[in-house]
Structure 1
Amino acid sequence: MIGMLDDDFEYFYQRAGFGPRLDAVSPSQHQIESYRRKLPSKLLSYWDTYGFAGYRQGLFWMTDPDEYAEVLNAWIYGTRFYRQDEYSVVGRTAFGKLMVWGRRTGFSLNIHCPLGIIFPHEDSIEMSDEEGDFQVETWLSGMQKSMLDLPDVDERPLFERCLSLLGPLGREEMYGFVPALAMGGSKRLDRMQRVNAVEHLMFLAQLTEPTVMLDINKEAGRLGL
């Protein structure tokens, strides 16, 4: 049993059922320090204590942003987000949903790569050190299996069935549709394969321009709600 750094990680790991940790890789202290002003201190503490690893049998992965920098650039290039903030991919799902932190805007982007959709979510909160740590703590403690899974064409969650049919993922792998949905593929279990995550996400980025959804928070602020 690994030690619990705080109550939020304990809730995520034990009570929410995301443990045990899989395929952990420890970042160097140099890498941690290189992100000191880009990411919240709480997230860097989690890196230092637990490394980059998978959880909930590989449904969720806490990622090394360096490994996904080119992927992120490929997905936001040509959108209004490109160079709008200093973004880092800090988490992903088994199906290639990327969770993106902005230095100024916090957890402001979710990129659903298999669907080719970007969901922006920007709060009008000054990103203080305390607010950044709070967002990271609530990100983990509020994580639920249902929000990470992917439904098939019949709205049935895929992860457990992929795990049973295809086997567990390594840290560099994901479950991907073959052929990709943008190429006419179908959201069916028999169309899923274990693929290299970075290579597959780069491939998906070349297939279509992403659809950027309405930022509900920003729109509500514009309307004075």
Structure 2
Amino acid sequence: METFGGQVGRQEVPESSIDRYRGKLPNQLLTYWAEHGWCGYGDGIFWTVNPQEYDAVVASWLEGTKFETFDAYHLIARSAFGDLYLWGEEIGASLKITSILSRYTTHKSLCLGSQMDKGLQSFILSRKVGSNDYGDLFRPARKKLGTLHHDEMYGFVPALMLGGADTLDHLEKVKAVEHLVLLSQLSDLESYDFQDL
């Protein structure tokens, strides 16, 4: 993740959090937390997070979907614009939600069970700065609004799903958990139809 750039907003991870997710998330991720904490990378474009703080976000997004009972999901990372990276206890890094558009993509991991650490490595190595920079707005947003704190994201106001524009003038710093729960209530979660791209 260091390829994204320097850390911002680092939080130490208590041993109780590591214990809570032992056997649910890859051991390598727990070791990473212990060594590096939860923080933002690339000046805050990509964040590792405390999954417990995002339990309500995950529950709100998955409620009423096929994912609600498919696996036990935990949010392990997010982008500055609210891309959510969920890890399934049984199936690994398998679900990404683009919250501002209420769309999701799935990924079938080949690294299950005792191979979850390899699945985590694959997840980390496949992260790219550009795929987390909605509309190339990160640098202009950071310049205009400032660096994000660990509990903040850049949100469009009004939300895109309410007809808001996806321009710098409509971006604000918002509290991440509250904004992500709000976005989950605006529209049903749908699969990306690649004809839309």
TM bucket by the smaller chain?
over 0.9
Counterpart residue type for residue 151 of structure 2:
E
- Which aligned pairs between 1:44-123 and structure 2 lie closer than 5 A? 44-123=30-109
Deviation string, structure 1 residues 52-96 (Cα, Å, up to 9, x no partner): 111100000001100111001100111000021010000000000
Supply the distance in 2 between the matched residues of 1:19 and 1:160 (Cα, whole angstroms): 13
1:128 corresponds to: 113
Are 2:7 and 1:21 aligned? yes
Q: Identity of paired residues, percent?
A: 36
Verify: 1:30 aligned to 2:16, yes or no.
Answer: yes
Residue number in structure 2 paired with 1:3: none
Larger Cα-atom Rg: 1
Deviation of 1:165 after TM superposition, in Å, equals 1.1
RMSD: 1.5
Out of 125, 135, 150, the position equivalent to 1:171 is 150
**TM-score of the pair, normalised by structure 2:** 0.94
Return the letter of the residue paired with 1:147.
S
Distance in 2 between residues matched to 1:79 and 1:26, nearest whole Å: 34
What is the 5 A alignment of 1:142-221? Answer: 142-151=126-135, 157-213=136-192
Separation of aligned partners in 2, 1:143 and 1:114: 19
- Could you say if the C-alpha distance between residues 120 and 59 of structure 1 is closer, same or farther in structure 2, counting changes exceeding 3 Å? same
Structure 2: distance between partners of 1:27 and 1:165:
30
Give 5+ residue unaligned stretches, structure 2.
none
Separation (CA, whole Å) in 2 of partners of 1:78 and 1:204? 15
Q: Is the 8 A contact 2:92 2:111 kept in 1?
A: no
1:122 deviation in Å?
Answer: 2.1
* Aligned length in residues: 194
Q: Provide the secondary structure at the position in 1 that maps to 2:104.
A: strand
SS of residue matched to 1:137: helix
* Secondary structure at the counterpart of residue 67 of structure 2: coil
**Runs of 4+ more than 3 Å apart:** none
* 8 Å contact from structure 2 (residues 90, 112) kept in 1: yes
Measured in 2, the distance between the counterparts of 1:117 and 1:20 equals 29
Inter-partner Cα distance in structure 2 for 1:143 and 1:88: 18
SS at match of 1:108: strand
Q: Give the TM-score taking structure 1 as reference length.
A: 0.82
CA displacement at 1:139 relative to structure 2: 2.1
What is the CA distance between 1:213 and its match in structure 2? 3.6
